[in-house]
Amino acid sequence: MSSPVLDILWSQFPHLESTDCADTAAGCHVSHACRREDLVGISTVFRESGYRLEMLTCLDERAGRKMFRLVYHFTQIDPVERHRVLVDVPVGEQAPTISHLFESANWYEREVYDMFGVSFSDHPDMTRILTEEGADYHPLLKDFGTIDGPVKGGDDA
Amino acid sequence: MPELIRVGRDEDRDTYHLNMGPQHPSTHGVLRLRLHLKGEVILSADPIVGYSHRAHEKMAENRNYIQFLPNTSRMDYLSGMIYNVGYCQAIEKIIGLEVPERAEYIRVICCELNRISSHLLWYGTLLMDLGGFTPFLYCFEDRERILDILDLVSGSRLTYCYGRFGGVTEDVDDKFLSETLAFCKHLRNRLPEYDDLVTNNVIFQNRCKGIGHIDKKTCHEFAVTGPCQRAAGEKRDVRRDEPYGIYDRFDFKVPTRTGGDCFDRFMVRVEEISESLSIVEQAISKLPVGPVMAPKVPRKIAPAKGEYYFAVESARGHFGMYIVSNGTEIPERMHFRTPSFSNLATMRRVLKGSTISDTVAILGSIDIVLPEIDR
Amino acid sequence: MEMISDVYRGFRSLLKGMGVTIRHFFRKPVTVEYPRERAVVSKVQRNAIVLIEKDDIGSHNCIACLQCEKICPSNCISITGSRKDGLAFKRPDTFDLNFALCSECGLCLDVCPTDTLGYSKQYDKAGYSREDFFYDLLDQWKATEETALGTLREIERKKKEEREARRKADAEAKAKAKENDDGDEKA
């Protein structure tokens, strides 16, 4: 698909790998995989083109690819166009914050830190938001077990 | 964030920190607002959430797709039907399962009735917070009729597990259709009464007009969706922009206002009730005969490996489900982009400079449900 | 001047509102005086699950396949079953439901292969302790279990006899057809 923001992105960030997902069930129009150091620049391009940050979450892929993967959804509302940006963050390292560009990122990044332990550098308030203050665990990590294990009816159903 | 109260500095001696919540009748859930006050004027407000965190996203990684169905209603229990049916629609889109026409129409009827019931509860609780105890029970009386109607077909009153992959569990009968039509007529006659009692009331207007402005810029920066966004002037509705199900076959308006204050958000939701009634009436008139379950539903739901996203319009805004599948029956990750999470974040900016009594009106008008924020 | 018109309009709006509430005063109340009156509940209302009687057996038809136990997201069902003499399927020995954990999702009803699970009609069960919510679903069927086993064995026996009879008939028909063919060949 063609969009003015794609031309700007491709010209400024040659390392960006973009996949067209417009007619699939992926839910986004284009999916980009970018490097950690390009994230702030790409977010600036989206911001200047009038996009907003709709969702930010994280995947724990330490078992497979030894990385955390951050997933950003930048959306333009008129006409609807959603771009998914995937960023890899090595274990134990920080991701750059974009809360100075998008106010919604403030709470989204706090949630990612709370659930996964991925901290964002230069965030104005890098504290937990959903779990209790002073907790020392990050619940959504894959090795953080549950009390009674996986529910029956999963693997052996 | 916890701040020590410094004593002995002159500029701070007139200010104090006050906790509004987490146990407070007007915060609509377990919300803690840490207010820094000078007299009655708020210098800064910090919403602290997480008191009803129940780890739905962790549960999603430990159950298969079918077993996750009851969890969907519990996230936003006021739009439980919309969330439940929306999850079914998301998985059906991912695995490519077609739903029979009758089931689609039944889903629309039930979701719109659920939307009306959510707006009626919001209406009653907003008025109760402002001190008007009468409309609360009137709204609950109307809402009781909707809950009885939905009980006829789904067996539950608040948290529904009515949708299944491929359709719905029970078919509707004539009693359901006649009661729904009677209810639509009843509510249409009641709405002018609500207008007389509430909308044109001088006290209500003075309390709500001119406060709590969420303008287009705030909507853009905080990714605000739903009636708050529509009251600010942006005419966005997931049912119109990214149609799912059969919403493109219905003729309904998307009410919008331009002011962005409490009264505009109030009027947008009241107008949405009328639009939902019109959708329900259209759906009943066009309801086809047929089965309510797809003929061939796979026993094991195991979507292909990949990342998927699906959004529906809940009573509060854009509800998005981000599902990562690893090819097995158990999801790799499920994240829920809930509208109240982003809408509440605006309070840090909007509540600055307002008074406590305005805070109650503003919090009521943005219509948040805390379990949806905490998941 | 504007203030007087504001006051007038405000006062009128308050009077209109009071008119609405006064009209409600003369309407029939909508409350149901429980427990003297009981609200009519829908036929499909979800409550605790029970085993339903199947007419031709005179008892439930649970075959202890454990499908409901496996699919329950809240792990509230536990079943043990064993094979009884003369029956092709198992029969449950214990069927325990921890109703305090049940979320009334209805998934157990969907997967039951013999359609013997259903919802109870009692919606107002209460208890003083957690143990009051441990239900034994086989309790109501204990008295009729022996008769039910007898009926099931009868049904199995009849099915077996029908199968034998059909097999015999098929074999005879085949033998006859073969004879006719041989006879044709010879002729």
SS3 for A87? strand
Q: Determine contact: B86 vs chain A, CB below 8 A.
A: no
pLDDT at site B291: 93
pLDDT at site B27: 74
Count of C-beta atoms within a 10 Å radius of residue B280: 24
From the number of C-beta atoms within 10 Å of its C-beta (0-12, 13-18, 19+), residue C22 rates as exposed
Q: Which residues of B touch A75 (CB under 8 A)?
A: 223
Beta strands B333-337 and C49-51: pairing type? unpaired
**Closest approach of A55 to chain B, Cα-based (Å):** 6
Q: How far apart are CA C42 and CA A90, in angstroms?
A: 56
Domain hosting A24: range is 4-121
pLDDT at site A157: 35
Kindly report, residue by residue over B159-216, the tens digit of the pLDDT: 999 999 999 998 999 999 999 999 999 999 999 999 888 898 888 988 999 898 998 9
> What are residue B335's phi and psi, to 5 degrees?
-120, 140
Helix or strand (DSSP H, E) at A45: helix A39-48
pLDDT at site C178: 82
Domain annotation covers residue A129:
no
Evaluate if residue C8 carries a pLDDT over 60.
yes
Please tell me which of the candidates B57, B236, B335 has its beta carbon nearest to residue A77: B236
pLDDT at site C187: 57
Q: Of B265, B171, B178, B155, which is closest to residue B214 (Cα–Cα)?
A: B265
Domain hosting B119: range is 11-374
Residue predicted with more confidence, B218 or C183? B218
At C155, is the pLDDT very low, low, confident or very high (cuts 50, 70, 90)? confident
**Residue pairs between chains B and C whose CB atoms are closer than 8 Å:** 74
Domain annotation covers residue A42:
yes
Instruction: For chain C, give the number of residues.
Output: 187
Burial B326-338 (b: 16+ CB within 10 A, else e): eeebbbbbbbbbb
SS3 for A80? strand
Inter-chain contact B155–C42, Cβ cutoff 8 Å? Answer: yes
Inter-chain contact A146–B322, Cβ cutoff 8 Å? Answer: no
pLDDT at site B88: 95
Kindly report, residue by residue over B320-369, the tens digit of the pLDDT: 999 999 989 999 999 999 999 999 999 999 999 899 889 999 999 998 99
* Long-range contacts, B171-180 (Cβ 8 Å, 24+): B171/B102, B171/B106, B171/B292, B172/B106, B172/B109, B172/B287, B176/B149, B176/B152, B177/B284, B177/B287, B179/B145, B179/B148, B179/B149, B179/B152, B180/B109, B180/B113, B180/B149, B180/B280, B180/B284
Domains, chain C, ordered by start? 49-149 (3.30.70.3270)
Inter-chain contact C70–A148, Cβ cutoff 8 Å? Answer: no
Kindly report, residue by residue over B80-102, the tens digit of the pLDDT: 999 999 999 999 999 999 999 99
Contact B121, B78 (CB under 8 A): yes
Kindly report, residue by residue over B223-279, the tens digit of the pLDDT: 999 999 999 999 999 998 889 989 999 999 999 999 889 999 999 999 999 999 999
Domain annotation covers residue B269:
yes
Torsion of CA B238, B244, B246, B248, to 10 degrees: 50
CATH number of the domain where residue A34 is located: 3.30.460.80
User: Cβ contacts of residue B373 below 8 Å, gap of 6+?
Assistant: B49, B338, B340, B341, B344
For residue B98, CA distances in Å to B241, C23, C68 come to 22, 50, 26
Structure token pair of residue B76: 């936003």
At B3, is the pLDDT very low, low, confident or very high (cuts 50, 70, 90)? low
**Closest approach of C45 to chain A, Cα-based (Å):** 26
Domain annotation covers residue A49:
yes
pLDDT at site B10: 52
Torsion of CA B256, B338, B209, B122, to 10 degrees: 100
pLDDT at site B8: 46
CATH number of the domain where residue B42 is located: 1.10.645.10
Domain annotation covers residue B6:
no
pLDDT at site B4: 57
Evaluate if residue B1 carries a pLDDT over 80.
no
ipTM of this complex = 0.91
Inter-chain contact C70–A152, Cβ cutoff 8 Å? Answer: yes
Q: Which residues of A touch B324 (CB under 8 A)?
A: 59
At B132, is the pLDDT very low, low, confident or very high (cuts 50, 70, 90)? confident
Inter-chain contact A106–B345, Cβ cutoff 8 Å? Answer: yes
Q: Which residues of C touch A156 (CB under 8 A)?
A: 70
pLDDT at site C79: 93
Inter-chain contact C107–B68, Cβ cutoff 8 Å? Answer: no
Q: Determine contact: A151 vs chain C, CB below 8 A.
A: yes
Q: Which residues of A touch B322 (CB under 8 A)?
A: 27, 55, 57, 71
Average pLDDT over every residue of B123-142: 91
pLDDT at site B5: 55
Q: How many domains does chain A have?
A: 1
Evaluate if residue C18 carries a pLDDT over 70.
yes
Inter-chain contact C71–A157, Cβ cutoff 8 Å? Answer: yes
Evaluate if residue B112 carries a pLDDT over 60.
yes
Q: What share of chain B is helix, strand, coil (3-state, %, to 5)?
A: 50, 15, 35
Inter-chain contact C70–A153, Cβ cutoff 8 Å? Answer: yes
**Residue pairs between chains A and B whose CB atoms are closer than 8 Å:** 116
Domain annotation covers residue A66:
yes
At B142, is the pLDDT very low, low, confident or very high (cuts 50, 70, 90)? very high
Q: Which residues of A touch C71 (CB under 8 A)?
A: 153, 157
Least confident of A151-155, C55-59, C78-82: A151-155
Domain annotation covers residue A153:
no
Inter-chain contact B69–C107, Cβ cutoff 8 Å? Answer: yes
Q: Which residues of C touch B193 (CB under 8 A)?
A: 20
Question: How far, rounded to the nearest angstrom, does the alpha carbon of residue B59 sit from its chain's CA centroid?
Answer: 22
Domain annotation covers residue B328:
yes
Domain annotation covers residue B323:
yes
Q: Of B107, B150, B142, B148, which is closest to residue B121 (Cα–Cα)?
A: B142
> What are residue B44's phi and psi, to 5 degrees?
-155, 150
Q: How many domains does chain B have?
A: 1
Count of C-beta atoms within a 10 Å radius of residue A67: 16
Taking 50 as the pLDDT cut, the residues of chain A under it are: 154-157
At B373, is the pLDDT very low, low, confident or very high (cuts 50, 70, 90)? very high
Which residue in chain C is spatially nearest to B68 when comparing CA positions? C73
Per cent of chain C over pLDDT 90 is 25
Q: Which residues of B touch C30 (CB under 8 A)?
A: 141, 144
Averaged pLDDT of chain C: 87
pLDDT at site A154: 42
Domain annotation covers residue A152:
no
Show which of residues 26-45 on chain A sit within 8 Å of chain B, judged by CB atoms: 26-28, 31
